[in-house]
Chain A
Amino acid sequence: MAMKKRKGNREAESYMKMSPKAFALYAVIIIFCIIVISPLVIVFSSSLRTPGNQTSPLKLFIEFSGLSYMQAFKNMNYPMQLINSIMTTGGSVLLIIIFATMAAYPIGRIKTKLAKFLYYFFISGLIIPSQMVIVPIAQTLSRMGIPNTRFTPMIMFITCSLPFSVFLFSGFMKGVPVEIEESAFIDGASLAKRFSTIVFPLLQPAIISCVITQGLWIWNDYFYPMVFISKKAQYSLPVGMLQFLGDKENPAQWNVLFAACVLCALPLIIVFLTLQKQFVNGIAAGAVKG
C-alpha cells in the first residue's frame, strides 16, 4: 500500500511532455471547461451589478456592487431559509445514517434468502419516482395527523434515501471482518454492543459517502418542501427560489435573480471547496464499492 502511494506521487510529478498530441489534449479540455463553466461565470458577474444595470451580461465584471445581493438577501429572508435548510438537511442525514446502517447490519450479515430478498426489496425502491407517489403520501400523512411543518419533508427525505443508503452500507458491510465480531461474541458482547462499538465505527468511509451523496440531493431538493410546506417562514433555500419563477423571463430582474442563485448555492460551494477531497472520494466510493 505504502509503495503504491509512493509510486503514485512520483508519477504525478512527471507531467506529460509538450507534444502536438498533448497540446491537442490541453486545448480540448480547456475549451470544454470554459464552455461548461461560462454560464456560471456570467451569472456571477451579473449578480455583482446594481439591479438596474441592463447592459449585456456577456460584458463580464464591468461593475462591482452589492446592491443586487442586498435585495435578493431581503427578498429571500436568507438567514431564516439558511437555518431551515441546515436543520432539515442535517437532521435527515443523521437519521438516515442511523436507520440505514442498522438495516444494513442484518442484511449484510445474515446469509438467508430472507435477507437477500430484503436487500433487493430496498433497492427496488430506487426506481419509484417521488412525483408518482406524492398524492397517496400526502393522504397518508394527513390521515396520521402529521401537520405540515418544516420537518414534514424530512420524513420523505429519509424514506427516499433509504434504498441507496441500505445498498451502500450492505456493500461496505462485506469489508468489515466477521472475525472481530465473532471474538466479541465469545467475550459475551451483545448485538447492540457489537453494532455500536465494532461495526458502526468501521463503516466510516461509507458514512462519509452517504453524508455527501444524500446530503447533496436533500439540500438541493425543492419538491417535497414545495408540496408539504405552506408557510413562507418555513421554506428552505431551494423552495424559496420558487418565488423568482416569474422573473426568469424578464431581463430587468436578472441581476437580482442571479444574486439569489449565487446565495442559494453559496453554502454548498463553500463546503465543496473546503472538503473537495472527501467529496470526490465519497461520490466515487458510493458507486464503485457499493
Chain B
Amino acid sequence: MQQVKKKKMGANSSLVFNNKMYFFLIPALTMFLVFWIYPVLQLFYYSITDFNGVNYNFDFVGMKNYAKVLSNGTLTNSMKNTLIYAVVTVVLSNVIGLTVAMILNTKIRWKGIFRTCAYFPALFSAIVIGFIWSYVYMPSSGMIASLITMIGGNGAAFNPLGNHNVALYAIAIVEVWKAFGTTMIIYLAGLQTIDESLLEAGRIDGCTEWQLIRKIKLPLISSTITINVILAVISGLKAFDYSFIMTNGGPGKATKTLMFQVYQTAFNDMKMGRASAFSVLAFAFIIAITIIMLLFMNKREEEL
C-alpha cells in the first residue's frame, strides 16, 4: 500500500541518491529564480503601469500599454524583422557550416589552417565585429565599395546599411559570418562519429557522392543538425547587437528587432511600462516560435 502511494507521488526511493541532494541546488536555483524568473514575472506587473524607470509613484493604466503597442505597428514590424533575421541566420549559418564541415571532413591538406580561418570570427566581441563590418559596408571608402570601384563599378552607390530593403539582410550576414564557425565545429564533431564502413558499403553499392550525403551522412548526424538549428534559432530570436551597434534600428525602422525595440522604448523613450507590455508580447512570440520549432525538429529527426 505504502509503496503504491510512494510511486504515485513520484517520490525518490533511492538510498544512495536521496532527497538530501536537493540542497546542492540552492545557490544555482536562488540566483536563477531571483535574477531570471522573477524579473520575467515582474514584466507582467510593470506592463499595466506607466512606470518611467525613475519615479516610483506610478499609476496603473490597465491594458493601455498593450493597446498602444498593438496599434502603433512597432510590434508587427519588429516581429517581421526578427523573423527574417532569424531565418536568414539559421539557414545560412547551418548550410555554410555543414558544407565547410563536409569539405574539411575529407582527406584534405591544411585542415587545421582552414578550420582556424573559419572559426576565427567567432572569437571577436560583437562590438568589435560591428565596427569592422561598418567599415566593410561603408559607402565609397569601405571595403566592398572600394573593391567595386577598383573593378570599374560605382562604389559610391553601394550602401547596404542605408537601404531599406537590404539593411536587415546585411546585418544578418554579419551574424552568419560570426556564427558559422561554431556551427561548423559542431558539425565536424558530428561527422567524425560516422562509421567509415557504412560509407564504404554505400560506395560499393554504387551510391553517388550526393546519395552518400543525403541517405547516409545526413540521417546519421540528424541530432547534430537539430542542436545546431535550435541554438541558431534561439540566438536569432534574440537579435540585438548589430541593430544596436551598426544601424541604430535604421534606416527608418528597417532593422528594429524585438529586443532592439524593447531596449529603445525602455532606455531612450524612458517608457518602462510600454517596454514591459512589449516584452510580454515579444516573449509570447518567442515561446510560440520555439515550441513550433521543437515540434517540427522532432518530426523531422524521425523522418531522416
Contacts and interface: CB of A to CB of B under 8 A. Distances in A.
A248 interface: yes
B254 interface: no
B125 A57 contact: no
B125 A222 contact: yes
Contact of B120 (A40, A105, A133, A191): A40
Interface in B24-71: 24-25, 27-29, 31-32, 34-40, 42-43, 46, 53
Given A103-B29, A136-B42, A127 B135 contact: no
Nearest to A221: B125
Contacts of A67: none
Contact of B238 (A129, A162, A276): A129
A33 interface: yes
A220 B122 CA distance: 10
A3 interface: no
Contacts, number: 262
Contacts of A37: 117, 120
B86 to A, nearest CB: 12
A284 B39 contact: no
A118 B134 contact: no
**Interface residues of A: mostly helix, strand, loop or mixed?**
helix
A115 to B, nearest CB: 8
B231 A249 contact: no
B117 A33 contact: yes
A110 B240 contact: no
Nearest to B10: A113
Contacts of A25: 103, 106, 108
Given A105-B21, A127-B237, A241 B127 contact: yes
Interface in B106-148: 106-109, 112-128, 130-136, 138, 141, 143, 146-147
Interface residues of A, number: 100
Contact of A222 (B40, B127, B190): B127
A287 B186 contact: yes
B28 A288 contact: no
B5 interface: no
Contacts of A237: 125
A209 to B, nearest CB: 11
A268 interface: yes
Interface in B175-213: 177, 182, 185-186, 188-190, 193
Given A102-B24, A113-B10, A140 B118 contact: no
A181 B14 CA distance: 13
Contacts of B38: 136, 140
A100 B186 contact: no
B264 to A, nearest CB: 10
B189 A132 contact: no
B146 A158 contact: no
Contacts of A29: 100, 103-104, 108, 114
A191 B35 CA distance: 28
Interface string A204-233: 000000000000100111110000000000
Contacts of A87: none
Given A244-B131, A284-B189, A33 B103 contact: no
25 contacts: A29-B108, A29-B114, A36-B118, A36-B120, A39-B135, A39-B136, A42-B143, A43-B132, A43-B135, A57-B146, A58-B143, A103-B24, A106-B17, A109-B17, A110-B12, A125-B37, A132-B259, A133-B40, A137-B39, A181-B16, A222-B126, A238-B125, A238-B126, A265-B125, A287-B224
